[in-house]
Structure 1
Amino acid sequence: MSMGFGGYVSPEQLMKDRADFARKGISRGRSVVGLQYADGLLFVSENPSAALHKVSEIYDRIAFAAVGRYNEFENLRIAGVRLADMRGYSYDRRDVTGRGLANAYAQTLGAIFSSGGEKPYEVELFVGEIGDTAAEDQLYRLTYDGQVADEHGYAVMGGAAEAVAGYLKDRYAEGAPLDEALRLAVAALGHSPGGNGTPGADRIIPVEDLEVAILDRTRTQPRKFSRFSPARLAEILGDRLAETAPAEGTDPAIAPGEVSGPDAGHDVGGEPPIAPPL
């Protein structure tokens, strides 16, 4: 129970307010796609920052991806790396699993969300681990309140997650090669469903604004994580400009969904956050 200047607030209302606060912060971040392909797991995000990563390595076969407040999910990433290193050093490297890390993150996020002493974390996470075969691959999605979902095939979090997931649902195929899976994920991130029954104008995301990494089981090194350079992305995605033309009546210099003029840099319908979520 909480007593403030406004009087009594029920526990149900308090939890609802905390959940609404977290979801609002997460929705301002750009979407992240986690997708299974023939030889591992692919993570794709729109991230204009060259210094701040949303996708990172945790351990030999384990990767971490996040959306929301950078300082919050970076603290979680560092804690996960330390936990994995300590467990692998104390026992065996095979004892470090994606499921174990996902459970540890769930406990931390759940405790923070239910605590009345601090605000809930505005983050959602992916923890991915590859096995020796595609059937052994694991992809976990964790929400701000500590809930864990075991995803299969693909998953999306943050930003326009529903629109991106809807695009993938109609086009995703199991066992796709890496290049095909990457093109699909990037197209999904740029998809705009429109409204009132009218088609949307899909965006072409520049390769410089993409953050892409994979867990590749075919790598001979014990560490299976690999990050894509802009040059490699351009080699795979370079033909998109020829395939997609600007919508009629739009300014090709302005990507659909962007705001020009005095409102540039602001979220439509509100003030820009002090530290925008990624």
Structure 2
Amino acid sequence: MSTPFYVSPQQAMADRAEYARKGIARGRSLVVLQYADGIVFVAENPSRALHKVSEIYDRIAFAATGKYNEYESLRIGGTRYADLRGYTYDREDVTARGLANLYAQTLGNIFSSAAEKPYEVELLVAEVGESPADDEIYRLPHDGSIIDEHGSVAVGGNSDQIGSYLGQRHRDDMDLGEALRLAVESLTRDSNGGERELTADQLEVAVLDRTRPQQRKFKRLPGRQLARLLQEGGEAGSAAGQEPEPEQESGSEQD
């Protein structure tokens, strides 16, 4: 009779965590940044049908990286929870913190269950407030823990390098164009320290804009508007690098 192979609970959980982390790292990166008028989400995603960023409720958005079918099922569950709570109680009772707690319980139960594999996903739940100080961003790794973020955060792919790049350059008072260009700059950096090119067609971008008069603050940026915002940054940089034209002497005539 063969002796059953024993794995300690600590080793089993470590193996599950490593499995999930490797799956998440294979996904394309996604960044979220606060700017003066709200929160911007920028994801490397050439698909126009399979979204990594979505609206959950009036002021709340959801973003994720990893296995699409797994985080899409979580997004749907969060949307149903928000709709039911807002209808049963009040729209103000639907908060990013409540959704983060819901996702944390779900991910934690799946991660600790020996009957199924852990989800290979990392989630971001954000809520825009009346002022930048009221904005909330929560990051939820595969094990269901909740991390309260501020300023900027990156998940998926080489998120450590991207997060470090953002942390050194991000400012809360950036306008949308500045924040967007910084996000794209961070995504173009590969794990070896090199740079690659990303066009507007390869990006999925959305914002939670606190200045919108509507109750719903979520808005996607279409390719044309996105390309214009990125191009404005390049033109400004080119203009700044040009030498100023010499001034004419005070006594000279003008044509």
Distance in 2 (CA, whole Å) between partners of 1:142 and 1:222 is 26
5+ unaligned residues in a row in structure 1: which ranges?
A: 195-199, 245-278
Distance in 1 (CA, whole Å) between partners of 2:172 and 2:93 is 28
Give the percent of matched residue pairs that are identical in Structure 1 and Structure 2. Answer: 58
Aligned match for 2:110, one of 102, 109, 112? 112
Cα displacement string for residues 227-250 of structure 1 (whole angstroms, at most 9, x for unaligned residues): 011101111112677879xxxxxx
Asked if the contact 2:188–2:197 (Cα under 8 Å) also holds between the matched residues in 1, the reply is yes
Distance in 2 (CA, whole Å) between partners of 1:17 and 1:192 is 27
1:192 CA displacement:
3.3
Corresponding position of 2:252? none
Corresponding position of 1:224? 217
Q: 1:31 is matched by which residue type in structure 2?
A: S
RMSD: 1.7
Q: 2:138 is matched by which residue type in structure 1?
A: Y
Find out whether 1:209 has 2:207 as its counterpart: no
Alignment of 1:57-96 (within 5 A): 57-96=55-94
Asked if the contact 1:204–1:241 (Cα under 8 Å) also holds between the matched residues in 2, the reply is no
Corresponding position of 2:243? none
TM-score, length basis structure 2? 0.89
1:206 CA displacement:
1.2
Corresponding position of 2:230? 237
Distance in 1 (CA, whole Å) between partners of 2:110 and 2:125 is 19
Identify the range of structure 1 (79-88 vs 232-241) with the bigger mean alpha-carbon deviation.
Answer: 232-241
Q: Which has the larger radius of gyration?
A: 2
1:162 CA displacement:
1.0
Aligned residues: 236
Distance in 2 (CA, whole Å) between partners of 1:48 and 1:6 is 47
1:201 CA displacement:
2.9
TM-score, length basis structure 1? 0.82
Question: Larger % of helix: which?
Answer: 2
5+ unaligned residues in a row in structure 2: which ranges?
A: 239-255
Q: 1:235 is matched by which residue type in structure 2?
A: R
Aligned match for 2:51, one of 25, 31, 53? 53
Distance in 1 (CA, whole Å) between partners of 2:74 and 2:191 is 33
Asked if the contact 1:72–1:122 (Cα under 8 Å) also holds between the matched residues in 2, the reply is yes
Asked if the contact 1:59–1:223 (Cα under 8 Å) also holds between the matched residues in 2, the reply is yes
Find out whether 1:169 has 2:167 as its counterpart: yes
Moved over 2 A (4+): 238-244
Asked if the contact 1:167–1:191 (Cα under 8 Å) also holds between the matched residues in 2, the reply is no
Asked if the contact 2:178–2:233 (Cα under 8 Å) also holds between the matched residues in 1, the reply is no
